[in-house]
Structure 1
Amino acid sequence: MSDLLPFFRAWVADPRRVSAISPSSPALAEMITSEISPTTGSVLELGPGTGVFTRALIARGLDEGDLTLIEAGAEFARLLADRYPRARVFHTDATRLARSDLYPAHGLGAAISGLPLLSMRPRQVMGVLNGAFRYLGPDGAFYQFTYGPRCPVPSAILERMGLKSVRIGTIVRNVPPSSVYRISRMS
């Protein structure tokens, strides 16, 4: 319930940026974090909003200090900084990650995205992926959920960037139903 008011205020202020009709469900959070454990290493979370996925990562045993949260919404960024004081919280645009100096190259274990990729221009999607994969280790993966029927990263972009996607599951107990994809480098 404590997530509904900040979510609603952000949605009223800019529904296109939020691009959801309700916060992500615990079931979706469980699925998108299902392949991540404390042995994964540092995790980058893009568009964490109210922190539903962040809570799931901590419940999986990840140390709060191993989390970096990138949030464009000022109210959400403040909320996250209050809730997760040991995590690194940045109020910034995730499409510009490659210009940041968040981690050493290939020093990241995984990235989780709550970003509305379907409402972004291809150049923005590429900016997000370029930034994340700049930091992800060779075996690191990028996890993205979508309300759409297929991977939200167009196949032309995946191919151009040497990436592949695999749907790891669908959650019908989310509003609306959602699928989770693992995006990784082609072997």
Structure 2
Amino acid sequence: MNQATISETFGFFRAWLVNPLRVAAVVPSGQALSQAITAEISAATGPVIELGPGTGSFTRALLRRGVREEDLALIEYGSEFAAALKLRYPRAQTIWLDASRLNGVQLFGGRQAGAVVSGLPVLSMPPRRVIAILDGCFAKMRPGGAFYQFTYGPACPIPRPILDRLGLKATRIGGTLANVPPASVYRIRQRQPRPLGEGAWPAATGQDNDPGTRARD
């Protein structure tokens, strides 16, 4: 392990100690998980939104897949991570932002994204926040675009009632035992892609009660 990797891992662990509910894991995602979550993405995908890039493990994998740096929007809530990402990827659009507020931000000059790659700890989030994140992401993706989410759990981390409410379906597309801890990757898409120009999904309403844990696989 080189000095840069040691420094990156220590910084990630320190951020986890400060706020374990915001940082998804104790150490950055490994190369095996980075390859698994970006496996279906290429230069042809077009702009890609990355949620919670942290130290940039998935970002580097996206660049290796052929995605141009200027076609990346890095949405990071941790100020220390966002500052480092701005320095490391100056041509990407790095925004210090809570991902649940994505609806109010313009990305890629108004062009629609082809995919979203999420490193967010959605299992620890209240349902209304998860709905707001999905709502903002699918409003900024072209029809047929995909939202990729990893989880350390045994099933899709987006509960079945939320998927049903938003007209989404989730499919497990892979995983890795080599990551620490082992992880699975899910692709989430609209059941029937919205026509171009159609508005966003209905806004979240109601209380932050957990609607259940069953998920569509």
Q: The residue matched to 2:114 in structure 1 has which SS?
A: strand
Name the counterpart of 2:74. Answer: 69
Q: Is the 8 A contact 2:50 2:117 kept in 1?
A: yes
Match 2:64 to one of 31, 34, 59: 59
Q: Distance in 1 between matches of 2:107 and 2:67?
A: 18
Give yes or no for the alignment of 1:8 onto 2:8.
Answer: no
Report how far residue 5 of structure 1 moved: 2.3
Name the counterpart of 2:173. Answer: 168
Aligned pairs for 1:138-177 within 5 A? 138-177=143-182
Report how far residue 185 of structure 1 moved: 0.5
Report how far residue 139 of structure 1 moved: 1.0
Report how far residue 61 of structure 1 moved: 1.2
Greater alpha carbon shift after TM alignment, 106-115 vs 70-79: 106-115
Aligned amino acid, residue 174 of structure 1: N
Q: Distance in 2 between matches of 1:3 and 1:178?
A: 21
Report how far residue 79 of structure 1 moved: 0.9
- The 1:51–1:25 alpha-carbon spacing in structure 2 relative to 1, beyond 3 Å, is same
Q: Distance in 2 between matches of 1:9 and 1:75?
A: 11
Greater alpha carbon shift after TM alignment, 9-18 vs 144-153: 9-18
Aligned amino acid, residue 81 of structure 2: F
Q: From the CA coordinates, give the structure whose radius of gyration is larger.
A: 2
Report how far residue 105 of structure 1 moved: 6.7
Q: Is the 8 A contact 1:105 1:136 kept in 2?
A: no
Q: Distance in 1 between matches of 2:42 and 2:113?
A: 13
Report how far residue 163 of structure 1 moved: 0.4
Aligned pairs for 1:120-131 within 5 A? 120-131=125-136
Q: Is the 8 A contact 1:106 1:138 kept in 2?
A: no
Aligned amino acid, residue 150 of structure 1: A
**Aligned residues with identical type, % of pairs:** 56
The normalised TM-score by structure 2 is 0.83
- The 1:155–1:103 alpha-carbon spacing in structure 2 relative to 1, beyond 3 Å, is farther
The normalised TM-score by structure 1 is 0.96
- The 1:103–1:83 alpha-carbon spacing in structure 2 relative to 1, beyond 3 Å, is closer
Q: Is the 8 A contact 2:79 2:96 kept in 1?
A: yes
Name the counterpart of 1:116. Answer: 121
Name the counterpart of 2:213. Answer: none
Q: Deviations over 1:83-120 (max 9, x none)?
A: 11110000010011112222577711100000000000
- Contiguous gaps of at least 5 residues in structure 2: 193-217
Aligned amino acid, residue 86 of structure 2: A
Name the counterpart of 2:99. Answer: 94
- The 1:105–1:82 alpha-carbon spacing in structure 2 relative to 1, beyond 3 Å, is closer
Report how far residue 73 of structure 1 moved: 0.1
